[in-house]
Amino acid sequence: MKRFTTSDGLSLAYDDQGEGVPVLCLPGLTRNMEDFTPLAGNLPRPCRLIRLDLRGRGASDHDPDPVANYTVPVESRDVIELLDHLGLDEVVIVGTSRGGIIAMVLAAMAKERLAGVLLNDIGPEIDAKGLGNIMTYLGRTPAAKTLDQAARGLARFYGPSFAGVDEAAWRVWAARWYEERPDGLHLRYDPALRDAVEAGGAAPDLWPFFEALDGVPLAALRGANSDLLSAETFEKMKGARPDMIAATVPGRGHVPFLDEEESLDVFARLLDAVTA
């Protein structure tokens, strides 16, 4: 794990492994770089895989002004500063959920830095049901006291939308999302992220940002059971970008793990398009 310092003084953690086309992985709202461990272990093409913990998540510093700075524009600025720190003119972005929104905003802010984009279960319309489900746990200390208990809870919560994922697999994911201490489980992100989301109000119209991706090699994945990216929105995305490499991942909700056959195929096809 490496670190760099943002223009407003926060130390952010990132991982940088491999050689080839640089690919920057941006995680979801409450997630961290470990969400991309399945992809890192199953790369269909050699590449330089860079994984970032957004501010307030994982091993990155918490922000002293969360409402002002746990926002997509600030997080997008952090991404540009990371690219500058690494001396990279452009990267392929794999954006999961919130990370995909950042990728769309970057298309409007600094399109020349995008070599390609893969949107993982996110689009320009966010389903209210999925957002409501996120708000049931966002920023709240889990009731489970151990990772084993958390795994059982995750299996119950996600079981209906993630076919064939057993409790042992959820135990691995629990360790990525929570830290077990003597007094119980702790979130691996700043709980004040909830304050920022609540202060942000209604989501803006994201279609202009999606449209800003015009000319950028684009791929998208949707979990077949997703409650955040509807099938209708996914079809509208494909209609707006007929060249978009797209696939629906069976047996997955929000979000696909990125190690599924469909996910790896889409990722490989995107890299082929970028390097063509």
Tell me the pLDDT tens digit for each residue of 113-166: 999 999 999 999 999 999 999 999 999 999 999 999 999 999 999 999 999 999
Residue 124: per-residue pLDDT: 98
Give yes or no for residue 242 having a pLDDT over 80: yes
What are the structure tokens assigned to 122, written together? 């996110």
8 A C-beta contact, residue 41 and residue 69: no
pTM of the model: 0.97
The b/e string for 148-166 (b: 16+ C-beta within 10 A; e otherwise) is ebbbebbbeebeebbeebe
- Confidence (pLDDT) at 272: 98
Query: What is the chain's mean pLDDT, rounded?
Result: 97
Rounded to 5°, angle at Cα 59 from 58 and 65: 80
Domains along the sequence of the chain with CATH = 2-137+203-275 (3.40.50.1820), 140-188 (no CATH)
Q: What percent of the chain has pLDDT over 90?
A: 98
Name the amino acid, one letter, at 199: A
What pLDDT score was predicted for residue 201?
Answer: 79
The confidence band for 257, taking pLDDT boundaries of 50, 70 and 90, is: very high
Once rounded to an integer, what is the mean pLDDT over residues 79-88?
98
pLDDT score for 236? 98
pLDDT at residue 204 in the model: 85
Q: How far is CA 115 from CA 63, 101, 166, in A?
A: 30, 16, 37
Percent of the chain with pLDDT over 70: 100
